[in-house]
Structure formats: structure tokens, C-alpha cells
Amino acid sequence: MKKFCFIFIIFSIFIFSGCGEKTTEQSKNPFELWNECESISALQNYVAAVTDKKSENFIPVEDRIAVFDMDGTLCGELFPEYIEYLLLEYRCLDDPAYKDIASDELKEVANLIRESGKKYKTPAVDHFDLVHGKAQAKAFEGLTPDEFIAYVKTFLKREARGFKGLTYANSIYKPMIEVVKYLQNNGFTTYIVSGSDRMLCRALACEALNIPENQVIGMDVTLVASNQAGKDGLDYQFNAAGKDKLVRSGELWLKNLKMNKVFNIAQEIGKQPVLSFGNSSGDTSMHEYTVTNNKYKAMAFMLIADDTERDHADMTETNKRKAKWEEKGYTIISMKNDFKTIYGDGVVKTDD
């Protein structure tokens, strides 16, 4: 009788603790913020195949690498421009602690951003991404990484232009949070590979997406010792006793777009990704690197900004992109048709 009671108690603990059953987290629909759509079905079918040890497409956990662009893929990019563009605009034209010491050259770049933003456009300047990167390096020269990240986080608390009920800090697409979490729960290591400043990406996205700082790749400025005074790193020793601090220099090191994304993935990750998510031509090199000559089954997804009711969109540009991405064989994610929500409840697009 005692033996029977002992077995019954153990069995009861097993049942009521949920052992042998799916947990609430596992049984819950991982895509509650998505409509039924081809893009999510394609992703789920892919993950089912590559995580099944019996499948010919099985990928070991250590090789399940997924890379995500940030602006326009994980978060909004029309506020009315990239967040990092607006950060520079604020720094040089509005920040009471800096605007009076910003150089005329920096103010010129910031004014280009302000004027083009009135039409939800990027400045019509050849390689403005590079122009901006060089200007941003100079505008934040001398700040330590922690000081810069703190500055960014303060800026991100501002209300996003073109919306009511939304701050830049909350501009991560809610449905894409589910995608990242779903992949993480299925053994994928998720990386952000962005054209935006690496430290800005860390400030905005790491906590929201549960992605560690060392899994963020982006635009970089050169870091130097505060007392280095222009000397080459081979000719200078960091001297903590001399009150050296690690600070941002005024020199852009790398704008992380197009082929530079491939370069950085190979350098920093050291493995070919099997999943790639993007939204623009700046991501196609990353996509092509992912899906070409890969020893594993690989996929590339392109998100298109086609929702003019809940977000800002240039449909002429969107339609051109959609046609190009379909021709290349990328899986299309439609904000309009696939997302139940974009930024969450209470957010309203405005014409500001």
C-alpha cells in the first residue's frame, strides 16, 4: 500500500507540474500579431524542416544563424527618416548643449535632413549615407560608448514624428519581435546587421529583442583613448593611471551597407547565415550571400512598407521594390496584409 501511494504521489507531481506536456509558452501561438499569410507559413515550414533531426534539411544548432537588418525591417524608418538621421538633426540644430558649438558643416548636413524630412524623403545627395556617417562621427566625438548610448536612450524617449502615441524607443515592429523570439526558441542565434550606428542599434533594439550587444553589427566609428592625440594605436598604450578613457573619435570607420554587410558577417560571425531578413537594396548583398552556395537550406525575406493607413509609405518605391524582390525569389512580408498591428494599440499615424 505504501509503495502504491508513493507511485501515485510521483505520478501526480509529474502530471500537475506539466512534465511530459507542452508548456504554456510552447503551446501558445507564436504569431498572434500576424494574419494567416504565406510569409509566416513559409518561415514555419522552413523551421520545422531544419530543426527535425530526421529531415535531410536538418541544421545543427550551432549553424542556425539568422541575420536581420534593423531600419525598415525590425523598426520604423519613416519618422520621417531614419532614426539616426533625426538624432544628428537634433544634436546639431536643437540640442541646447551642442547646437551653438556645432560646425557649419555639421549644421548643413542636419539642415538637409530637416528639409528633406518635410517630404518624407532622404536628402538627394550622392551617397548621403556616407555623408551622414562622417557627420555623425564628428558630432559625437569625445563621448565614451556609455555616454553615447545614454544620449541615444534619452533621445529615443521623444515622441516619434508622424505619429501619436509612439516614441522612438517603442518603434520596433511588434510582429517582428515575435519572429525573433520564435527563432530564438528554435535554437537560432539572431544578429542585427544594420547600416545604422552599432551603438544606436544596441540602445534601441537589444532589450526589446533579447539580442546581446555582441550580436549587433552596424556602422562603426573608430574608438580611441582620450589622450591618444592622433597617434596610431601601435604607437600608443592605453593608460588608465593617466586617466585615459575609451571614446568615440571623429572618424567614420565603416558604413555597414551592401557588400560591407557581407564583409562584417564573415569577419564577426565567421559563418554563413541560413536566414536573412531585410527591406531594401542595402540588404541584397546580405541576402545573396545567405542563399548562394550554402551547404544548408537557406531563405531570404524582404519586408515591404505597403501600409499607408497605419504607417508612412512611398507606394511608388514600394511597388518597384516588391517586383525586384519577387524576381530574385525572396519571400515577401507585407506590412499591410501580414501584420495585425505594427506598433501596437493606441498608435495613430498623423500628417505632421
- pLDDT for 318-330, tens place per residue? 999 999 999 999 9
Categorize the per-residue pLDDT at 11 as very low, low, confident or very high, splitting at 50, 70 and 90.
very low
Predicted pLDDT of residue 240: 86
8 vs 196 pLDDT, higher one:
196
Residue 315 CB coordination number (10 Å): 13
248 vs 13 pLDDT, higher one:
248
Domain range 31-76+171-219+254-349, its CATH number among 3.40.30.10, 3.40.50.300, 3.40.190.10, 3.40.50.1000: 3.40.50.1000
The SS3 call for residue 76 is: coil
* Separation between Cα atoms, residue 302 and residue 186, nearest integer Å: 21
In the predicted model, is pLDDT for residue 25 greater than 60? Answer: no
Categorize the per-residue pLDDT at 17 as very low, low, confident or very high, splitting at 50, 70 and 90.
very low
Candidates 108, 127, 348, 139; CA nearest to 250 is 139
Regarding pTM above 0.75, the answer is yes
Categorize the per-residue pLDDT at 28 as very low, low, confident or very high, splitting at 50, 70 and 90.
confident
In the predicted model, is pLDDT for residue 87 greater than 60? Answer: yes
Predicted pLDDT of residue 19: 44
Categorize the per-residue pLDDT at 8 as very low, low, confident or very high, splitting at 50, 70 and 90.
very low
Predicted pLDDT of residue 73: 98
Categorize the per-residue pLDDT at 92 as very low, low, confident or very high, splitting at 50, 70 and 90.
very high
Categorize the per-residue pLDDT at 27 as very low, low, confident or very high, splitting at 50, 70 and 90.
low
Average pLDDT over residues 306-323: 94
Predicted pLDDT of residue 218: 98
Q: Where are the domains of the chain?
A: 31-76+171-219+254-349, 83-164
Predicted pLDDT of residue 326: 95
Q: Please list the alpha-helical segments (H only) found in 78-144.
A: 83-93, 104-117, 128-139
The pairing of strands 348-349 and 275-278 is unpaired
Least confident of 89-93, 123-127, 134-138, 189-193: 123-127
Task: Give the mean pLDDT of the chain.
Answer: 93
b/e string for 241-258 if b means 16 or more Cβ within 10 A?
Answer: eeebbebbbbebebbbbb
Average pLDDT over residues 149-172: 97
* Separation between Cα atoms, residue 26 and residue 42, nearest integer Å: 19
In the predicted model, is pLDDT for residue 210 greater than 90? Answer: yes
Predicted pLDDT of residue 4: 46
Categorize the per-residue pLDDT at 9 as very low, low, confident or very high, splitting at 50, 70 and 90.
very low
Categorize the per-residue pLDDT at 26 as very low, low, confident or very high, splitting at 50, 70 and 90.
low
Least confident of 27-31, 188-192, 327-331: 27-31
Separation of CA 175 from chain center: 13
Least confident of 13-17, 153-157, 313-317, 346-350: 13-17
In the predicted model, is pLDDT for residue 22 greater than 80? Answer: no
Average pLDDT over residues 308-337: 95
As given in the structure block, the three cell numbers for residue 96 are 541646447
Average pLDDT over residues 169-174: 98
Sheet holding 65-68, edge to edge: 246-254, 216-225, 189-197, 65-68, 275-278, 299-304, 331-334
In the predicted model, is pLDDT for residue 40 greater than 70? Answer: yes
Candidates 351, 334, 350, 346; CA nearest to 34 is 334
